[in-house]
DNA sequence: ATTTAAATAGTAATGATTACTATTATTAAC
DNA sequence: GTTAATAATAGTAATCATTACTATTTAAAT
């Protein structure tokens, strides 16, 4: 894989945010640096970076989101503001459990918890 | 909401399978009974049945799947044959944990574990 | 500097889902 | 049973995210 300034920029943009951005968000950011960058280029490089293990992809409802954090982790999704927060749950036991109970060889565990984040709590609850 | 034979059929189709079908799969099944049923009708009724709590929707990668099982549960997804299996994990503690650790009021927990189902294991592993 | 092919920009195509609209069918009132 | 009101439908068009295509550009090896 040879160098391209487009791919470098796209990787930078993903790695500089915690917002779990969509392809379109990344595209708009990228246009500020390379005004004629193509959306196809963004998608192609995001897939490529994912294949190379540089970034992660997951799906929020029916749209793809990109994550610089390649270490296994889980997500909290706020139903009010849409924010997606990284969390680490202790699910070391889960793989063993599903192997034992369901004879299923787990490779990837994806946990998304939706609800209401602390920004929307009133004083009483705080 | 008034009666329609289309909605009744759609609900029946979802409730008679464990396959977590897509809208298109349901549409094709429905056409065998009502040959001129419209795909829009299928989508509209699936949304409606979901709003009324009769069925559940979740997203497998970027496409919607419908589930007769409205009780909270989790899924195993086989990367070889695509089968999606219902499981029940004991995550009663999770809501408390995220409230305590992250001040996040959990409403819905979605766990999908991908890997290899028992159909693909060889004799040694069995 | 020349050559080779990977990567790109721009655009077209696809697939899932939603929106629109004239027509049909359910249901309640008479 | 007939009528009236309007929810639901079929058929079609539009939208949105993503992928495919292709002529041109560009990285980088010789
Ligand atoms: Mn994350
Ligand atoms: Mn299920
Ligand atoms: Zn929030
Ligand atoms: Zn399988």
Name the nucleotide with the smallest C1'–CA separation from B64: C16
Q: How many CB pairs under 8 A join A and B?
A: 102
SS3 B117: coil
Domain assignment of residue B60, yes or no: yes
Distance CA B91, CA B47 (A): 28
**A85, B104 in Cβ contact below 8 A?**
yes
Domain count, chain A: 2
- Least Cα distance to B13 among B37, B80, A56, A43 occurs for B37
Are B59 and B19 in the same domain?
yes
B113 at A interface, C-beta within 8 A: yes
| Residue B90 pLDDT greater than 90, yes or no | no
Query: What tens digit of pLDDT does each residue of A59-89 get?
Result: 998 899 999 999 999 999 999 999 999 999 9
Q: Are A104 and B114 in contact (CB under 8 A)?
A: no
Say yes or no: A27 and A80 in one domain: no
Q: Specify if A111 maps to a domain.
A: yes
Same domain, A32 and A53: yes
Domain that holds residue B42: 5-67
Give the pLDDT confidence score for residue A122 in this predicted structure. Answer: 83
In a domain, B106, yes or no: yes
Quick check: is B94 in a domain?
A: yes
Question: Is residue B14 located within the same domain as residue B58?
Answer: yes
Residues of A whose CB is below 8 A from B59: 59, 61-62
Interface of B with A in 49-108 (CB under 8 A): 59, 61-64, 76, 78-79, 85, 87, 89, 94, 97-98, 101-108
B58 and B32, same structural domain? Answer: yes
Question: Could you give the percent of chain B with pLDDT greater than 70?
Answer: 98
pLDDT for B117: 96
Q: Given B111, B112, B116, which is nearest A105 (Cβ)?
A: B116
What is the crossing angle of helices B23-31 and B39-51, to 10°? 120
Q: Does residue A35 lie in a domain region?
A: yes
Question: Per residue of chain A (126 residues), what is the pLDDT tens digit?
Answer: 999 999 999 999 999 999 999 999 999 999 999 999 999 999 999 999 999 999 999 999 889 999 999 999 999 999 999 999 999 998 788 999 999 999 999 999 999 999 999 999 887 665
pLDDT of res. A92: 80
Give phi and psi for B118, each to the nearest 5: -65, -20
Tell me what pLDDT residue A126 has.
57
The pLDDT of residue B126 = 57
Q: pTM score > 0.85 for this model?
A: yes
CATH of the domain at A102: 3.30.1490.190
State whether residue A90 is helix, strand or coil. Answer: coil
């Amino acid at each position: 894989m040879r160098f391209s300034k487009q791919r470098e920029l796209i990787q930078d943009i993903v790695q500089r945010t915690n917002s779990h951005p969509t392809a379109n968000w990344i595209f708009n950011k990228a246009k500020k640096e390379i005004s004629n960058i193509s959306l196809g280029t963004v998608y192609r490089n995001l897939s490529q970076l994912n294949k190379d293990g540089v970034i992660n992809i997951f799906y929020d409802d029916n749209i793809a989101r990109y994550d610089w954090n390649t270490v296994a982790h889980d997500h909290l999704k706020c139903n009010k503001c849409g924010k997606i927060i990284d969390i680490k749950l202790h699910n070391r036991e889960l793989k063993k459990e599903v192997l034992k109970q369901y004879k299923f060889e787990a490779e990837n565990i994806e946990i998304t918890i939706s609800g209401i984040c602390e920004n929307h709590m009133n004083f009483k609850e705080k």
